[in-house]
Amino acid sequence: MNQTVPPKPLRIGSLEFDIPVELAPMAGITNTAYRRLCREYGDGVFVSEMITSRALVERTPATLRLIQFHESETPRSMQLYGVDPKTIADAVRMVVAEDLADHIDLNFGCPVPKVTRKGGGSALPWKQDLFAAIVQAAVRAAGDVPLTIKMRKGVDSDHLTFQDAGKMAADAGVSAIALHGRTAADHYSGKADWDAIAQLVQLVRERNPEIPVLGNGDIWCAQDAIDMVEHTDCDGVVVGRGCLGRPWLFGDLEAVFRARRGEITWEEARQRTAAPALGEVMAAVRRHTELLIDFFGGDERHACRDIRKHMAWYFKGYGVGGDVRRALAGVESLEHMAEIFGTMDPQMQYPGEGAEGPRGRAGRPKRPHLPEGWLDSRTCDSASFSALLEAETDEASTSGG
């Protein structure tokens, strides 16, 4: 372990975070219920689901529910997505004026087709003029509220954007930059390119050493975070799929960063690493469900439908049997959950490696879905921009963000 340079607290504008770990925004996952649960295990930056800027400005009901923060969540971090500099600036001004969040993040990293085919997410930085206009407008609109960005390496290996985007974001005055070491084409396949993160760290520090760079990709356990920091010299890490069904990972991460800082020994950090028996996992699932009930305004049935997608992640590696897994995937109420849990052995020990490692579907590299002719030029002409605005308007009116 390299303990010669203790890590500094993570500074994002005027905000300071003792533990340099961020929960990545994940659609349908990082609502206030899951953020609250993760906070109960460890410290860090806990960011909302991606919020469509146009839907926010238009105050669609679904979006107004998604931007809820519990009173215990402080500071409050919200991620916005969009393709129009004016709409994004309007959304940022709304967040600031109505005190909806303490930190705003912009999404330039989403690889899913419904986003990239509209020119958004990880496709957008290819259009340098549009990317610069969005970031500059958002930073101005944010004022004293820290504004950060998340991005990927680029569209594919032949169309990388992270270095140019990093320079433009640093020059615009963002408060932090996070890089996922994959392209849109990679989706979640293969290994994350930590060398690209190291390159961005060096580039941004030469531009503005006050802007922290965070690394994202393949943080499956606490040791991975330390390895990333030491490999890239990044200022912090972003955790996404690694915490699915493992909210206690934030406790593990807090322990290793405190050990690296010399506040506890490495042996103490190892002792604090979670190895939950099955009963502890069941308690976490029930707590998660209770928080979802609160999030859904007391609607227990809705909360139980939502928790179903987490079940395979929570019980990964545990020998609970196929019948139990199928029952959990169809849980209908807390009472029903208790009945299922009653058939399980709470003393079953942590399965170790079987419960660890990658979670979620990695898939294979795939050709990104992009607007027609998107890669022909690094600039966005008026016809292309009009098409983007039309697509964004349609999405806001149908999905509500």
Active site residues: 110
Dihedrals phi, psi of 228, to nearest 5 degrees: -65, -45
- Between strands 10-12 and 176-180, the pairing is unpaired
Q: How far apart are alpha carbons 71 and 32 in whole angstroms?
A: 10
Taking the CA atoms of the chain, what radius of gyration do you get in angstroms?
Answer: 21
Tokens of 215: 């690394």
- DSSP secondary structure letters along 309-351: GGHHHHTTT----HHHHHHHTT--SHHHHHHHHTTS-TTPPP-
Q: How far apart are alpha carbons 355 and 349 in whole angstroms?
A: 11
Beta bridge partners of 159: 156
Q: How far apart are alpha carbons 292 and 286 in whole angstroms?
A: 10
DSSP 174: -
Q: How far apart are alpha carbons 391 and 396 in whole angstroms?
A: 9
